[in-house]
Structures are given as C-alpha cells and as structure tokens.
Amino acid sequence: MTKGEQPTMDPSDSKKPEPIDRTLAGRLVLLAIAMFGFGFLLVPIYDVFCEITGLGGKTNDVAFTVEESVEQDRTVQLGFVTTVNGYAPWEFSAEVEEMAIHPGGIYEATFIATNLTDEFKTAQAVPSVAPSQAAKYFKKLECFCFTTQEFMPGETKEMPVRFIVESDLPDYIDTITLSYTFFDTARQTDTVAAAGLNTH
Amino acid sequence: MTSAVMDAHHSEAHHEPAKGIKRWLYATNHKDIGTMYLVLSLVMFLTGGVMALIIRSELFQPGLQFIAPNVFNQMTTMHALVMVFGAVMPAFVGLANWMIPLMIGAPDMALPRMNNWSFWILPFAFLMLVSTFFMPGGAPASGWTMYPPLVLQTGDAFPFLIFSVHLLGISSIMGAINIIVTIVNMRAPDMSLLKMPMFVWTWLITAYLLLAVMPVLAGAVTMLLTDQFFGTSFFLAAGGGDPVMYQHIFWFFGHPEVYILILPAFGVVSEIIPTFARKPLFGHDSMVYAASSIAFLSFIVWAHHMFTVGMPLTGQLFFMFSTMLIAVPTGVKIFNWVATMWRGAMTFETPMLFSLAILFLFTIGGFSGLMLAIVPADIQYHDSYFVVAHFHYVLVPGSVFAIMAAVYYWLPKWTGHMYNEKLGKVHFWLSTVFINVTFFPMHFLGLAGMPRRIPDYSTQFTDFNAIASVGAVGYGLSQLLFVYVVVQCVRGKGEKASSEVWDNPKGLEWTVPSPAPYHTFEVPPKISSSSTFS
C-alpha cells in the first residue's frame, strides 16, 4: 500500500475473515494452568535439590543406620548453636558448647529445653549444619528434632541427639557447627498474627 | 470467540459506539479498551507518584519528620506494587490494545469479550489493594517482594494483598492470551512473522513471558496464604519449610517480570527511531533474535537477586555469568538503534527526544546492573541505594519514558490532533533533567553505604538525599505538564493531524485516517513494500 492510501473495499477481498483458531487460545490457557502447577512443583524440586547437594545445611530428618570404621587419627571440632525463634518463652541450650569427634564414630550430645510458661506447649527443633558442604556427611541416628516435643507447664527436658559424621567428610573441613532453632509450633500462627498487630 | 463473534462484528461494523457509560462498561472495541487501560495507568502513575513524593519528603532530611517508620514501609511497598502492576504494565497493555490491531491490519483483538474482562478486573483489584491503607494494621509494609516471614506479619491487609495480586495476575494472563491469539491469527495475509513491526514482536515475546511467570507468582502468593491461614508450612521452618524457597520462587517470576516491563519499551523505541531518523530499523531480524534471547536468559538468572542469602560458589558463578550474558543481546539492540540513526536525516520531535534519552539513561541503568551482577561487588551493593538507583534508571527513563514517547508518537493518530510540540519538549527536558537529579545521587548514596527501605539515615547522607528529594518534586510537578498536554490534545486544541502524522512513517497504522476510525481494517489490507520497512 502506498503512503496515505486508504484500504479500499475490493469486492474480491470482502470475504469473511478466517475464524479465530480457538485451539490456540485453549492451549495458552492450559499453559497458564501448567505454569501455576509448576510453581508448586518447584517446592519438591527445591527439597530434592537441597537434599542431594546438602545446600542450606539441611540434614536427614529420619533416623539413619550405618556401620563405619572410626578414623582415630583425624579430629573434627563440632560446635553447637541454639536459638529460640521469635522471643518465645523458652530456655534452650546445649549441655556442652563444643566437642571433638572422630569421623566414623558414633556420638551423643544433649540439649536442654525449659518451657517458661504455665501452659502446655509443643515445640519443634529445626537443625542446620554449617558449612553446608558438611551437611550430607552429618547423619543423625536419633534426634529430638524428628518429631514435635511436648512440654508440661514449666517442664525441663533433656533431649539427646545421636549422630555420626561419615569418614568420607572432605579433608578441608575441620570444624562443623550444628545449629538448632526451637519453634513454638502450637502458637505459630497466633504469635505471627499478634506480632503483626502489635507493630501498629 | 470464534466466527460467531467475528460475524457479529462484521455486521455491526459501521455502528457508532454506544452512548454514555455503557460504551465503557460493555466495551469490546480494542481502541476503547486501550484508552481505558491508558487512563487507568495514568491515574495509577499519579497515585504511585504521590507515594514516591511522601517517601522523598521523609528522606529530605535525616530524622523522622512526617510519617512513622511503619507508614514509610507501607509507602515503599505500595509505591512499587502500584507502579509495577498499576502504571507500567497496564500502560503497555493499553498500547498493545490500541496499536497491535492497527499495526498488523486486524479489525480488532481476537477475543474482545475477554479483553473487556481483563481490563475491568484491574480497577477493582487496585481498589482492594489501596483500601488496605484504611484497615487495622495498615497497608502491606513488607516490600513489594512479599518475603516471608515478614509479610506474614501484615495485619488485616494480608489476604487483600494476596487476592489483589491474584486478580492482577488473572488480568495479565488473559491480556497475554488475547495478544498472542491476535498476533498469531489475525495478521494481514501478506504479513509474515518476520515482517511484523518490532513493537508487535516485542509484545509477542512479552506475552509469552507473562503466561509463563504470572501463574508462578500466583502460586507463590497462594502458598503464603495457605501458610498463614490453612496450616501449611511451605515457608515456615517450624513445619519443615524454608523461607529462602519463597525467594527462589518469587524471583523465578520476578526476573522475567523486569523484561515484561522493558521489552515493549524496546519495541516502542524501535518504532520511533526509524521514523525520525528516516531510515529503516537497522538489523530488524537481529532485533527479534536479541529480544528472544533476552526472554530466554531471563529464566536462568533469577538468583542474582539473592546472592547474599547464601549459595554455593558454583551457583554464584553460574548466576553471575548468565546475568552478564544478557548484556550481549541488549548491546545488540542498543547498537542497532545507534546504527539506525547513523547518517539518518534526524529531527528531534518529542517522541524522538524521549527515545534518545532512553538510549542514554537506560544504558546507565544497564551498566549499574552489570556492576550488581558481579558477586563480590554485589555483596557490598546489596539492599543499598545503589540498587534503588539501578532499577529506577531502567524503569523510569526506560519503561516510563518509552510509554510517554509512545503516547506522544501515537496521540495524533488517536485524537486526530497534534499535541503542543513546544510544551512536549519542555516536558521532556524537565523530566530528563529532574530524573537525573533524583536518581543519579542515589548511586553515590548506595556506594557510601546507605541502605534502602529506611525512613531515617545517618547524617553524612543528608546532602545527596536533599538533592534527590528536590529532583523528585521537580519530576513529579513536570508530569502535570504531561497531563495538561495530553488533555489539551484530546480536547482537540492542536492543529489537525494528517493520516501520516509524521514525515513518511512506515507501518499500517499510518494508512488509516487520524483520528483512527472506530472500526479499522474490516478488510485485511494489502501490504506493499513501502508500508513496512522489512
């Protein structure tokens, strides 16, 4: 079409336009729905990815059984860190702050938690290992973090974790930190809501 | 929406638009819907602008002057949500509605009733979002990224925030489907894909990006909703979830989203520069491939937003290099625009001025983006005002300037009258000067260590903050001039525009009269070599 010329009504052109291809619109709707599903699929993908690589310091969350030979001539320092989430009324600490271990040996550490309120409480401890490269070699044989713990008003509990650091731990790792964060599970949503309102 | 609708349209072809409010409520005409999108966008732009000015007033001096810290956080959060979802995205969808059928020789959008719905969702979604200011606990204040666990502390506004994001997503998805179906099915018979104008091309790519990532955002905010109210633990560590996972899912949406905001702007610039350089766009096909590469790369760079949350070295390297790779296709585009102007017979009307400013200022934003991509540097820059400077340089003199350039460029086609060129140029120079006064000092603030999203700051940052605030007020007031120029043009104050408007522009939209009749291209146009550049 030359410049400025109007589209003209040529009789041979005036046939009806082709009907719109509705299958394309349908496919695009399906694509949108599939991508909504993909968003949720990212959740298991993320977990599997972290499990395989040990990223995020995630460790096993079911009991692990293993027979390993102890490497007596190699020592790794293991430190314990304890945190209570969101200023909840708990006391939570490790019995010892640090221990020296040999890869391949089975050890036990004890953590102590006290419910400072006069109410019945449930709590969940979430572990994390740093550096994250060590996470997949840190195997828990038994842990209070596998299940939620119940506390009577004012109760103090000693909670054991039995673990092994596998002997194929890379040589450059000589210090490992095991961290537990203690969450008050029953009041999780309530505390959050209350915190939200209190800020205003 | 099949032949039945098309037939109905055909027989009604010469009917005048309905009178009064019904014309707008029941609108199926692409021009009416495009106009409504653009008006909504302008309203939201001014709303978000007022929030920006409140932020800048508070930051004019150190200490707390006008608003409480919590209100400040609400302002930064809502400013971002309103500008991204309310101003920039609807403006580009409005331009797409108006121009894509005119540019490909189609009588209307393919799915006109869905088009009506995807527009009319928006005002209600924003009404819901803005109404949260009056709720107990106030508006969302967790930042527009809505990171848990902080966002879960939002007061009563929380479910309203989530539902308005859902509605905005549904609207965008429907708009995207409509645009793809229109472009794929309704081009003039001789218009092959590679003959399409660049604005149509960039919108086709953008629409696919929207379809791919808006549902992922909907999924992420749905998980927030169920975490808060239905006892799930997607992002709650106590139940075995992980708040960092939210950031991964959000930025899987968020990074393609920034290209959703800029690709149509690239398309606008690719239309305007050839017209005022009086030369064909240099490297049309390479522009298409560059835009497609940018779209593909946008899916594999998301974690560069989260270098500081912790990532293994290989992850950091991958996301750093893939991010830097985006500079290559972007550089191709910048090079092609410059090559288009090379030895062109250039004139500097307002749309061209805005396009040239985009070339300079968007590139500054691109370079600061490259700096942020460098992992060791990013650990210093992260969450500082350097980041604020970076994304405002790409969004304001990138996307917003492109929208204004497009409005000046096509306004005579829409209204049949020329805008006031002199005032347009004044608006351009005021905007360009003040935008730099506002955002350039933020680079220095960020490098000196001023964190973003804070209502108060250390006294050594005072001078640059004062300069930025003065620039923001100047930029804000200059936009009133833009509103005045547009309103005067719509009221028919300017001289009559010819159907070509500019000096021999290329493209089918210039073959219809100005103002464009209510119904155009009821018969598909024939394309001759002179009406397109490629």
Average pLDDT over every residue of A184-200: 48
Residue A18 — pLDDT band, cuts 50, 70, 90? Answer: low
- What is the predicted pLDDT for the residue at B292? 95
Catalytic residue among B28, B76, B77, B171: B171
- Among A4-18, A163-177, B202-216, which stretch is predicted with the lowest mean pLDDT? A4-18
The reply to whether A19 touches chain B by the CB within 8 Å rule is yes
> Cα–Cα distance between B207 and B7 in angstroms, integer?
27
- What is the predicted pLDDT for the residue at B85? 96
Architecture in CATH of A57-192: Sandwich (2.60)
The string of DSSP letters for B70-110 reads HHHHHHHHHHHHIIIIIIIHHHHHHHHHHHHHHHHT-SS-S
User: Does residue B69 have a cis peptide bond before it, meaning omega lies within 30 degrees of 0?
Assistant: no
* Domain boundaries defined on chain A: 23-53, 57-192
- What is the predicted pLDDT for the residue at B4? 43
Mean pLDDT over all residues of chain B? Answer: 92
Nearest residue to B201 (alpha-carbon basis) of B276, B283, B266, B112: B266
> Cα–Cα distance between B485 and B426 in angstroms, integer?
11
> Cα–Cα distance between B337 and B360 in angstroms, integer?
11
Domains and CATH numbers, chain B: 31-511 (1.20.210.10)
Cβ neighbours of B213 in A, within 8 Å: 35
Judged by CB atoms closer than 8 Å, whether chains meet at A46 and B245 is answered as yes
The ipTM, to two decimals, is 0.83
Q: Is B349 a catalytic residue?
A: no
The reply to whether A31 touches chain B by the CB within 8 Å rule is yes
Instruction: Please answer whether residues B300 and B322 qualify as being in contact, where contact means their C-beta atoms are separated by less than 8 angstroms.
Output: yes
Average pLDDT over every residue of B174-192: 93
Q: Is B503 a catalytic residue?
A: no
Instruction: Please answer whether residues B210 and B178 qualify as being in contact, where contact means their C-beta atoms are separated by less than 8 angstroms.
Output: no
Judged by CB atoms closer than 8 Å, whether chains meet at A24 and B231 is answered as no
Of the partner residues A21, A36, A184, the one whose CB lies closest to the CB of residue B185: A21
Q: Which amino acid is at B419?
A: Y
Q: Is B79 a catalytic residue?
A: yes
> Which residues, listed in sequence order, are joined to residue B245 by a DSSP beta bridge?
none
Of the partner residues A3, A19, A39, the one whose CB lies closest to the CB of residue B504: A3
> Which residues, listed in sequence order, are joined to residue B88 by a DSSP beta bridge?
none
- What is the predicted pLDDT for the residue at B3? 43
Q: Is B118 a catalytic residue?
A: no
Judged by CB atoms closer than 8 Å, whether chains meet at A24 and B173 is answered as no
User: How near does any CA of chain B get to the CA of A17, in Å?
Assistant: 8
**Cβ-proximal residues to A103 (8 Å cutoff; 6+ apart), any chain:** A68, A70, A71, A74, A76, A137, A165, A166, A167, A169
End-to-end alpha carbon distance in chain B: 32
- Among A84-93, B434-443, B446-455, which stretch is predicted with the lowest mean pLDDT? A84-93
Report which DSSP code applies to B214.
Answer: H
> Cα–Cα distance between B127 and B528 in angstroms, integer?
47
Catalytic residue among B98, B144, B409, B457: B144
Catalytic residue among B118, B206, B270, B520: B270
B240, two tokens: 């075995």
Strands ordered across the beta sheet of A76-84: A98-101, A76-84, A175-184, A121-130, A149-151
Q: Which of residues 101-130 of A touch B (CB under 8 A)?
A: 124, 126
pLDDT per position as a tens digit, B188-221: 988 999 999 999 999 999 999 999 999 999 999 9
The reply to whether B240 touches chain A by the CB within 8 Å rule is yes
Q: Tell whether the model's pLDDT for residue A162 goes beyond 80.
A: yes
- What is the predicted pLDDT for the residue at B15? 64
Q: Tell whether the model's pLDDT for residue B284 goes beyond 80.
A: yes
Catalytic residue among B108, B227, B271, B349: B108
The reply to whether A4 touches chain B by the CB within 8 Å rule is yes
User: How near does any CA of chain A get to the CA of B371, in Å?
Assistant: 26
The reply to whether B245 touches chain A by the CB within 8 Å rule is yes
User: How many percent of chain B have pLDDT more than 70?
Assistant: 96
Question: Hey, is B384 helix, strand or coil?
Answer: strand
Mean pLDDT over all residues of chain A? Answer: 78
C-alpha torsion A188→A189→A195→A198, nearest 10: -140
End-to-end alpha carbon distance in chain A: 65
- Mutate: best of A28, A48, A52, A85, partner B, most B CBs <10 A: A28
Give A87: exposed, middle or buried? Use CB within 10 Å, 0-12, 13-18, 19+: exposed
User: How many percent of chain B have pLDDT more than 90?
Assistant: 85
3-class secondary structure per residue, B182-195: HHHHCCCCCCCHHH
> Cα–Cα distance between B478 and B437 in angstroms, integer?
13
Pairing of strands A76-84, A175-184: parallel
> Cα–Cα distance between A147 and B62 in angstroms, integer?
49
Residue of B nearest to A12 (CA): B523
Q: Tell whether the model's pLDDT for residue A193 goes beyond 50.
A: no
> Which residues, listed in sequence order, are joined to residue A101 by a DSSP beta bridge?
A76
Cβ neighbours of B5 in A, within 8 Å: 20
Judged by CB atoms closer than 8 Å, whether chains meet at A192 and B231 is answered as no
In angstroms, what CA-CA distances link B496 with A5, A26, B32, B436? Answer: 18, 44, 21, 35
Q: Tell me how long chain B is.
A: 534
Residue of A nearest to B530 (CA): A2
Cβ neighbours of A18 in B, within 8 Å: 185
